[in-house]
Amino acid sequence: MSLRFAPLIAIISCCAGALLAQAPSVQPVLPPTGLTVQYGLGQYALRDEYISKERYSGIMPYVSAEWSRFHGKWGYRLGFEFRQATEISNNNVAAGILHAALYRDYFYPVGRKSLFGNDAYLFLGPATGIHIYMNDQQVAAQGAFNFDNSMATLFSLGINAMAVVPFRAHLQIEGSLRLSLLAMGVRSTDVVEGEGSMGGILTLLSGTDPTAGCGIRYFIDERLSLKAAYRLQILRISKWNPLLSVDDNITLSISVHI
């Protein structure tokens, strides 16, 4: 499994290297605060073994709205994200997918490092969130009496990390990682057989949902910026019937720095 991540890490490194080889000139706002609205589109793949071992995949949009403030020594981020698609499919079997999350992250400056000749401003803090995942694979006709909908919910506590690298006038690179370390999870189980509890504690090993992002922000002026980014979100739960979903998105966002 770890080998699978090797190309991903290499690609991120190449990408960052190419961008960081630019000379900084103007230092914009650090970190970006205010109101941000984001839209993304990307490929989504899912294997939900509550239903089957088959892979479902397709295109799924992503939207989010976020409010963030920075108070000199610390900041916070309050956001809502939503993804929904009805045509995530395995051959001719479609699945309706709905993911929603409400999160609140705190971040503290942890230092400034030199990275390829540029200053990288690092932030770290706790992350909390409620994440709801509902998968409706159409393995039965509509209206049939069935329990084939699969769901998972995480009430998570973890960390978030952010790096901001100003590298040119009005431009900065931003990287972020959010990771659940401990979560209270709820998952579909066999209701008729009553096998096990639907709820349980999930650790980093038994269930987590890392989100990583890397993008470029362009400041139109002091109050407005645009960002293009790549966003990767993984959900992996192994405590019950395994659930693995991976979502790559190219996102565009607009921020009003209030």
Partner 1 sequence: MTAIRWLPIIMSTALLCSCNQLLVDEAASDQNLADFDETWNIVNSRYPYLEWKQIDWDSIRTVYRPRAEQALGDEFYKVLYDLLYELKDGHVYYQTEGGGQVYPYFPTPRALRDRKAFSPYVVRKYFDKELRVTKEGGFEYEFLPGRNIGYVWISSFESENFNLRFAEVLEYFRDTEGLIIDDRNGSGGSLQSNMYAVGRFLSSPIDTIQVYDADGQRLDWPSYGPVGPFRYTAQVVVIINGGAYSARENFADKMKSLPNVTVIGDTTGGGSAGQNSSGYYAGKHVLPSGKIINIPKFDIRRLDGLPWEDIGVPPDIRVLQTAADIKRGQDKQLEYAIELLP
Would you say 51 or 162 has its CB closer to partner 1?
Answer: 51
How far apart are the C-alpha atoms of 42 and 62, rounded to whole Å?
8
Q: Is 207 in the site for partner 1 (CB under 8 A)?
A: no
Tell me, residue by residue from 9 to 48, as one string, x for binding to partner 1 by CB under 8 A and - for no binding.
--xx-xx--xx----------------------xxxxxx-
Contact predicate 97/89, CB 8 Å: no
Q: In 3D, which of 207, 59, 36, 42 has the Cα closest to residue 133?
A: 207
Site for partner 1 in 146-165 (CB under 8 A): 146-150
Q: Is 223 in the site for partner 1 (CB under 8 A)?
A: no
- H-run or E-run covering 20: helix 2-20
Would you say 52 or 84 has its CB closer to partner 1?
Answer: 52
Would you say 12 or 63 has its CB closer to partner 1?
Answer: 12
Among the candidate windows 26-34, 84-92, 112-120, 157-165, which touches partner 1 by CB under 8 A? Answer: 84-92
How far apart are the C-alpha atoms of 255 and 258, rounded to whole Å?
9
How far apart are the C-alpha atoms of 88 and 97, rounded to whole Å?
7
Among the candidate windows 79-87, 153-161, 184-192, 198-206, which touches partner 1 by CB under 8 A? Answer: 184-192
HSE toward the beta carbon, residue 107, CA cutoff 13 A: 27
- H-run or E-run covering 123: strand 118-137
Q: Is 139 in the site for partner 1 (CB under 8 A)?
A: yes
DSSP 8-class letter at 190: -
Query: Considering CB under 8 A, how many residues would be counted as binding partner 1?
Result: 57
Exactly one of 84, 86, 128, 189 binds partner 1 (CB under 8 A); that residue is 189
Dihedral sign of CA atoms 190, 138, 51, 181 in order: negative
Residues binding partner 1 (CB under 8 A): 4, 7-8, 11-12, 14-15, 18-19, 42-47, 49-57, 90-93, 137, 139-141, 144-150, 188-193, 195, 230, 232, 234, 240-241, 244-248, 250
